[in-house]
């Protein structure tokens, strides 16, 4: 049980620190996930919205929402 408790505390610490990094760039986790997915694809870092939502296991509606928010942010 102690190990599981430590793992949960570590997970929470990581979530807080990653959240701070996202806030510095005005990003939500899901928006960052889209950018990270594009980065992982390699140059030229391009995927169609369909390819993105399939690789991220999202519905097309969720993908549209994330892309719209990123587009609004520039």
- Predicted confidence at residue 42, as pLDDT, reads 87
Smallest Cα–Cα separation from 34: which of 17, 6, 55? 55
pLDDT(56) > 90: yes
Q: What pLDDT digit, counting tens, does each position of 6-50 carry?
A: 999 999 999 999 999 999 999 998 999 999 999 999 899 999 999
Domain range for 35 = 2-73
Domain count along the chain: 1
Spatial distance between the Cα atoms of 37 and 11, rounded to a whole number of angstroms: 21
| pLDDT recorded at residue 1 | 83
Q: Output the pLDDT for position 74.
A: 87
Q: Which two tokens stand for residue 50?
A: 């369909």
């Amino acid at each position: 049980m102690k190990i599981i408790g430590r793992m949960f505390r570590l997970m929470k610490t990581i979530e807080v620190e990653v959240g701070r990094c996202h806030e510095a760039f005005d990003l939500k986790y899901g928006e960052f996930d889209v950018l990270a997915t594009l980065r992982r694809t390699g140059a030229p870092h391009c995927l169609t919205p369909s390819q993105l939502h399939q690789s991220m296991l999202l519905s097309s509606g969720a993908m549209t929402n994330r892309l719209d928010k990123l587009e609004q942010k520039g």
